[in-house]
Amino acid sequence: MTSYEARAIDPAALKELRETDDAERPCVPYTATDAGSPLRCCLRGSEAGERIALVSYAPLRRWAAMTWARPGAYDEQGPVFIHAEECEGPAPDRTGYPFSRAGALRTVRRYDADGHIVGGRLMEIPADEERGYDEAIAEAFADPEVALVHVRAVEYGCWHFEVRRP
């Protein structure tokens, strides 16, 4: 089975989000008192004492700006946690998919080259987490119309990561 690359927020986008988020609000950093907030800049949970921020992010809008897609009403924004200052990004030796735990519910949303939703799937992460993701993403890309996949948490609806067509 092929493993796909879970993509974090692009460093150029992070630089902008650390000033003004995609809802045009200023970034308001704070010190995390608990661990575990899913950081979309480095695809790991936060640690107590780290400086983080909760910002509004529009992943499809930013992808569309690079590809000339026209998502129209499918352009949405939502809350994501990021480090308040520049970080190293995802660890180069990171394995598996981020924010994954058996039993958690995710949506695997499919987009075409125009940024329109062309399907999706509800997934309960199985015990073999990596295999479960690989199968769901392979199923999405089996449709030649699918250009991009977003993985989102069901509980909060927030964006976790994207996977682009290999």
pLDDT tens, position by position, 93-129: 888 899 999 999 999 999 999 999 999 999 999 999 9
Which token pair is 80?
């994501």
- Is the distance from CB of 76 to CB of 157 less than 8 angstroms? no
Q: Taking the model in full, what pTM does it have? A: 0.93
Give the model's pLDDT for residue 1.
45
* First-last CA distance in the chain: 14
Distances (CA, A) of 138 to 9, 47, 52, 148: 22, 32, 33, 12
If you write DSSP's letter for every residue of 66-131 in order, what string do you get?
Answer: HHT---GGG---EEEEEESS----S-TT--S-TT--TT-EEEEEEE-TTS-EEEEEEEE--SSHHH
Residue 116 contacts residue 71 (beta carbons within 8 Å): yes
73 pLDDT exceeds 70? yes
CA distance 40 to 154: 16
pLDDT at position 166 is 85
Give the pLDDT score at 25.
Answer: 98
What angle is formed at CA 119 by the lines to CA 105 and CA 58, rounded to 5 degrees?
A: 75
- For 13-52, the pLDDT digits (tens) are 999 999 999 999 999 999 999 999 999 999 999 999 999 9
Q: Provide the pLDDT for residue 94.
A: 87
Question: Is the per-residue pLDDT at 149 higher than 70?
Answer: yes
Q: Give me the chain's average pLDDT, please.
A: 95
pLDDT at 153 over 60: yes
Is 70 exceeded by the pLDDT of residue 2?
no
